[in-house]
Copies of this chain bind each other. A is one copy, B any other.
């Protein structure tokens, strides 16, 4: 069993029923679209929504019924390939250049109907902000999911790819929020996954690609850069080695010829033990371009992850700064990547912490295609047991002005428009699994929904996304909407307040990354240190220290380097600070830590209480499932608070000003 998340049409409200009944049972289709698979998906979606089989009529715009739907081809250049216009008068016209646009328009039309925001007359025009709106799954072929917190994989089981009804619902959910690219397998390509791109798995792969195609989703595969070595066919993975080049040429040719709707490769190379061009003294560009040449003739892309750093650092080495690694490896290569290479850059320089500065590569790299990578899977942000709605974080990142271009903000840089690059977009690592609710925590689906919506329209606000999510998922009850929206919108800040303070990150249990452990990574090899003593904490990343700040535009270098001007939430990311340092708020640093942690734990307690108020308003299974999560969050937030505060109390000997219990 599995739910339908925000596409659950099973309980239409009276109002929606009334709307549907006003629309007759016919959909008229522009003859230009007739052969397009996405058109049929659009119509099928309307049928699912309305609960009726519709008559399909082919013809130009000439509706003789009082209220009918017409799917119309138009060619306004501003709409691009995926935009749409919805016009509601005494009939509904969904117009787009392509059937993909029609599909998106239909999902939007249904959404508007379900939210009861429909008016007549009404006109909606929408064009995606980003051409690429991608998700990466980290599913393994044995059925496990790396950083999966919502059950096992529904893509893979027992080393086989599966395509079934659930996959179909998955495609609908993705299309409904505008996702148009999906990489289905873990970037750490191991064991059977090496063979995913071979004849062995071709049959179900073709099936999946065709299903995806009918929802305008390109299928990507994560590949092992050194696959020919893995297969025992070659001994070198040097990107300049002719046999290696030829191997990938052949492989790519075969794959594109046999797999329709294939987008290309997603590659994690030279990262955390994965093989890559560095092994052969070559650059990341050498590696990426070799693959790009292989897939180029077929319109294929290479998405190349930039998560490259030394994961064998000695904690005693204070010179090396992991935060600097991405910029150092990739910035000198700006302009050297082929046109069909896209660099996938994590939002921050570390790794999906609850708070990080924006990666200095954004804005600085002007001649390279880029994807902004965020993580909807809540690896470091509560693992879908704590509520942590991340859209506000992503929005902040998008609104960060890198200052590299006076005419634009980073969101335009990502989408590629500022520098007239061909490819750009946003990617989320996501871990939807075979749990009934797809996401472990029911409310974690808001990150899934929200990512798609924000990637489609970067101007949309986290508030409006949250509201729509709640309405579509839980109906239109005002208390439900108000309560859940508020929970969502405050949750990131709450989670931040009781976990690692002021941008310093980590302080989690190693490996699984759940729960507090201040020294968890402190004496380890991962380059993630707080270096706290009994008097101070933090790493000096100014030019007196590691000079990470020097990787930003001068405006930010100056601001971040100035202890008094640095944004407070990033204070301990950039500076080493005495516990007795007085913050602008008048609190000392240590008291700030105590206060925010006690407050955060109380906040988490209040979430549980708020949820109890919704008992009568929600489906009982859902109510209880979420209630249990909030109960856990409340207790676990208290643990976080107590561990962090006690750690610093023990280390500094400084008591809480308000006399609260420290251990």
Contact = CB atoms under 8 A, between A and B. Distances in A.
A646 B533 CA distance: 9
A543 interface: no
A532 B646 CA distance: 11
Contact of A663 (B315, B510, B519, B649): B315
A495 B517 CA distance: 26
B650 A523 contact: no
A530 to B, nearest CB: 10
A517 B516 CA distance: 15
Interface string A487-512: 00000000000000000000001100
A539 to B, nearest CB: 13
A653 interface: yes
A428 to B, nearest CB: 31
Contacts of A647: 519, 523
A535 interface: yes
Interface in A615-663: 642-643, 646-647, 649-653, 663
A642 B535 contact: no
A316 to B, nearest CB: 5
A519 B644 CA distance: 12
A193 interface: no
A523 B652 contact: no
A531 B662 CA distance: 12
Interface string A462-473: 000000000000
A650 B532 contact: yes
Contacts of A646: 523
Nearest to A318: B663
Nearest to A531: B650
Contact of A534 (B517, B519, B523, B653): B653
A183 B653 CA distance: 50
A85 interface: no
A506 B98 CA distance: 65
Interface string A535-555: 100000000000000000000
A518 interface: yes
Contacts of A531: 650
A516 B315 CA distance: 13
A650 B517 contact: no
Interface string A268-304: 0000000000000000000000000000000000000
A535 B315 contact: no
Contacts of A534: 534, 650-653
Contact of A519 (B315, B518, B649): B518
Interface in A442-501: none
B643 A523 contact: yes
A647 B647 CA distance: 13
A532 B534 CA distance: 12
A640 to B, nearest CB: 10
A649 B649 CA distance: 16
A520 to B, nearest CB: 8
Contact of A533 (B518, B532, B535, B653): B653
Nearest to A654: B534
User: Nearest 3 pairs between A and B by C-beta?
Assistant: A533-B650, A523-B643, A519-B519
14 contacts: A315-B663, A316-B642, A516-B523, A517-B523, A518-B519, A519-B647, A523-B643, A533-B653, A534-B534, A534-B651, A534-B652, A534-B653, A535-B653, A651-B651
Interface of A: 315-316, 509-510, 516-519, 523, 531-535, 642-643, 646-647, 649-653, 663
Given A517-B519, A518-B519, A533-B649, 17 more contacts: A315-B663, A316-B663, A519-B519, A519-B647, A523-B643, A523-B647, A531-B650, A533-B650, A533-B651, A534-B534, A534-B650, A534-B651, A534-B652, A534-B653, A535-B653, A650-B651, A651-B651
